[in-house]
Structure 1
């Protein structure tokens, strides 16, 4: 049991920073318990597992994707804002939140395909998409693998590969060291539960994935807003690289910001993305650079 508690604690520390951000932040929106709302919560049979999802509002579909170790509740500041205009669709990704897992492997491609399947179940032809952290990676993959499904895309804190050219070096070194500790701890646990197996898979995913070539982003045809904090866990140069390789992209780097842009900069985050979704993409060339 001691090893299990250690493993869970490590996972919470090294996940996207959402847990820390929410502990620091005073949550005032108590009228709806997002992520466990019995009035709207449902399960869909998706590719061999049960995916938990919630839908809010009416209008054009908007899919919002959470990060590693997160869940629907991480977007408590985005749901009420966007539900005024959009049909907001949120799901707990495989092995996270209230969704289970039927595999002993996990990949971003797998979770991207899960979201594509959910859209099919909900009969959503295409949608605007917001992705945070690992959710941003899944958003990029969804737009690459199913370009007809993504109308406009906004990603914050996403990365293409897991080394120190992409991820803040101190954090990357810490995560990799914890993998060694986790492997040793797991050997001491007899018959580990599905929960602990899933958290090991998520830790491995955070440490060694993804592996997306920058050129592969050329496949993204939809207008894309690439977002990062200037003190994000993702290197600013890497965020710029992502934007440069998407044909129809804008870049937004928030000053004095870390990884948790949807929480600490929620009002600005919501407004800028809302404006991005509401306007046609402007191709900037020649003298347009002066405007």
Structure 2
């Protein structure tokens, strides 16, 4: 899910070559004491894209250019990821959300739609909680709102995680190709392992959200199916349609035969869910709703 373990992170990062794309020219901006790298592509209403842990813009793959066909996409790289420098500060979800909010202020975006994957989805959710005025619509792929929602296998693995699982592996070699400080990988890994232990108990915050949310998850994701359904219900979803009442503005999409790392690879499916949601399109039933 949100914060991938070694097998999850390795699969994502090492798939970068498979998602090679013609990238727009990037820029940096001062954000909370660091130089944050970002890329802008497309035209239209602003859409901010947030990657997962151990990832960067290229490893988000072809979903970025697809979304840029109808939106002005701002793809960001978080602290210690890609071309954004690391700083002496913990990587936490409130910090990541603050970075996105500050970025928006610095580049003159009053509010925008947000799409986040994995760690980026949790940061996006926290952004909607802490800065609701900045988020029009929110798309979260592979997210959770409480640590109780992780699959038991992932929960059991977290205490076993150590920097040695990452440092000195091909993951570090890939990370160094973009990093401003090629010697800083261990520090970033240590921060991300600490993030795994960050308490998450956001149920009340999620229930209070007024922002429309599209929840996307694989049916074999790191968060359980029950957790994704519970989040959908917190947002007002899950009631029967065709009964005269309007549908919830939030939506739930479960991708079949899909693990955590396979979610971001399914561009056609993702785009087929995301674009109608952002455009406010609802499938018509024969009952007229």
TM surpasses 0.5: yes
> Is residue 2:202 matched to residue 1:213?
yes
Deviation at 1:233, TM superposition (A): 1.4
Deviation at 1:123, TM superposition (A): 0.5
**What do residues 99-124 of structure 1 show as CA deviations (whole Å, max 9, x unaligned)?**
11222422111011000111111111
Give the Cα–Cα distance (whole angstroms) in 2 for the partners of residues 79 and 281 of structure 1.
Answer: 23
1:174 to 133, 153, 157: 157
Change (3 A) 1:96 1:84: same
Give the TM-score taking structure 2 as reference length.
0.80
Give the TM-score taking structure 1 as reference length.
0.79
Give yes or no for contact 2:253–2:273 (8 Å, CA) kept in 1: no
SS in structure 2 of the partner of residue 44 of structure 1: strand
Partner of 2:186: 196
**What do residues 147-196 of structure 1 show as CA deviations (whole Å, max 9, x unaligned)?**
1111111101112233xx322222332232124977xx9xxxxxxx5331
Give the Cα–Cα distance (whole angstroms) in 1 for the partners of residues 254 and 116 of structure 2.
Answer: 16
**What do residues 245-288 of structure 1 show as CA deviations (whole Å, max 9, x unaligned)?**
12442111112111135433210111210011011689xxxxx8
SS in structure 1 of the partner of residue 55 of structure 2: coil
Give yes or no for contact 2:163–2:189 (8 Å, CA) kept in 1: no
Count of aligned positions = 256
**What do residues 117-153 of structure 1 show as CA deviations (whole Å, max 9, x unaligned)?**
1111111111111111111101111111111111111
Give the Cα–Cα distance (whole angstroms) in 2 for the partners of residues 14 and 280 of structure 1.
Answer: 33
Give the Cα–Cα distance (whole angstroms) in 2 for the partners of residues 229 and 14 of structure 1.
Answer: 14
Change (3 A) 1:179 1:155: same
Moved more, 224-233 or 243-252: 243-252
- Structure 2: stretches of 5+ with no match in the other structure: 169-182, 237-248
Partner of 1:3: none
SS in structure 2 of the partner of residue 105 of structure 1: coil
- Structure 1: stretches of 5+ with no match in the other structure: 1-9, 186-192, 283-287
